[in-house]
Amino acid sequence: MLNLFFVLILSAFILTLLVVVHEFGHFLAAKRAGLKVEEFGIGYPPRIFGKKIGETFYSINLIPFGGFVKIYGENSSKELLKDKRSFYAQPPKTKAKVILAGIIANIILAVFLLYIFLFAHNFSSYQTLLFDYHFPFGRQEILPVVLMVTPDSPAEQAGIRPYDVILSLNGERLKKVDDFISYVKKHAGEKITIQAKNLISNKEREIEVIPRKEYPENQGPLGVGVAGTIKIEYQKPIEKIFSGFLHTFNLIHYSFSALGYFVKQSFAQRTIEPLESSVAGFVGVIAMIKITVQAGFWQLLNLVALISLGLAMVNILPIPGADGGRMVFVIYEALFKKPFPPKLEQKVNEFGLAFIIILLILITFKDIRQFKDIIFH
């Protein structure tokens, strides 16, 4: 069992790294545009250490889990229009570049990490399916994957482990989880030869197991919990060359498709539960990191790339306070040839900040209920 303190330290490091990369994107774009950058900080105040280099103050702060960049003139006011080095005085094109740079930085980091991950796994990856879906790029195959093995079950005794992908049963390829369940039940009491590949060790092996005819409730003949997973392979030379970009696009497309799917499910069922179950905050990320650390370095690397993409996608949404929300004001300015009313923009941002804080609190309580067994055991 992993020490909770170690998991928290690792989570703080990962989240700080990803947020700092995001803020560094804003920083570079602002510097390149000739804007005045007042401070670039790792962590949040109170300040531990700082040094001014040129006109920018660089700081290391006490509270982990992030970082920040302070660009002169981000708050809208008519006075700032006179200072050409302020953010507010810039044309919409320059503002858009600075705002979108953080999102682009997170995507670039994800592409880089996914290149490493795919190269180490023969340009293939597995993605758990939450709904019926087909990725835009790559050769794909749907397979069952073991998520949980019950103690003292036939599966445990035979050596089946979590993260085992079921490639075949008695030489027969199965494309659905329901087919796997039906096959095992049909052959209860008989020896079954399973060809499996473990996602942690990346090794294939042959397992012989006899499913039981009588079993405790909710355990099944083998005593495993399974889900559908899709294997994505980039086989052609051109696909391998651009695999990091293709896989990143696949994951972004899948994530937004999943968001749309769960929103529709919530409306259809007239409950927030489907959408709520698909969203995770800081506590949920800690739970995922704890699980993934036990799966090994490569899976952790893959998770860091996924979180980086998640940070980029959340920021691109038109939510007040997020980068996407700031882009709404820039688009308004580009269309109407004048800045959005400063006082109204301030009120919208204040409302957005309050909304995000309340939302994060609600998500945190939801995550504690959902993941407490994972985090504290």
Radius of gyration over every alpha carbon of the chain, rounded to an integer in angstroms: 24
What domains are defined for the chain? 4-121+280-375 (no CATH), 139-233 (2.30.42.10)
Grade residue 39 by pLDDT with cuts at 50, 70 and 90: very high
Q: What are phi and psi of 59, to 5 degrees?
A: -135, 150
Check residue 266 and give its pLDDT: 85
CA–CA distances in Å: residue 138 to residues 27, 107, 305, 369:
35, 19, 19, 37
Average pLDDT value for residue range 357-363 = 84
Check residue 280 and give its pLDDT: 78
Check pLDDT > 90 for residue 176. no
Of residues 80 and 18, more confidently modeled: 18
Check residue 97 and give its pLDDT: 97
Cis peptide before 162 (omega within 30 of 0): no
Grade residue 272 by pLDDT with cuts at 50, 70 and 90: confident
Check pLDDT > 70 for residue 78. no
Check pLDDT > 90 for residue 206. yes
Grade residue 93 by pLDDT with cuts at 50, 70 and 90: very high
Number of alpha carbons in the 13 Å side-chain half-sphere of residue 167: 13
CA–CA distances in Å: residue 238 to residues 33, 137, 140:
35, 12, 17
- Assess contact for 144 and 174: CB atoms under 8 A: yes
Check residue 334 and give its pLDDT: 95
| CA 125 – CA 135 distance, rounded (Å) | 12
Check residue 245 and give its pLDDT: 97
Check residue 142 and give its pLDDT: 87
Check pLDDT > 70 for residue 15. yes
Cα 371 versus chain centre, distance: 17
Of residues 377 and 233, more confidently modeled: 233
Considering only 29-38, 147-156, 275-284, 363-372, which range has the smallest mean pLDDT? Answer: 275-284
Could you read off the pLDDT of 348-357 as tens digits, one per residue? 888 888 888 8
Largest distance between two CA atoms of the chain: 82
Nearest to 149, CA basis, from 202, 90, 226: 226
Considering only 1-5, 42-46, 277-281, 355-359, which range has the smallest mean pLDDT? Answer: 1-5
Give the amino acid at 64. Answer: P
- Assess contact for 86 and 202: CB atoms under 8 A: no
| CA 355 – CA 280 distance, rounded (Å) | 16
Determine how β-strand 139-149 pairs with β-strand 224-233: antiparallel
Q: In percent, how much of the chain has pLDDT > 70?
A: 98
Check pLDDT > 90 for residue 18. yes
- Assess contact for 66 and 134: CB atoms under 8 A: no
Check pLDDT > 80 for residue 120. yes
Average pLDDT value for residue range 9-30 = 95
Check residue 363 and give its pLDDT: 84
Check pLDDT > 80 for residue 297. yes
Q: In percent, how much of the chain has pLDDT > 90?
A: 51
Check residue 287 and give its pLDDT: 85
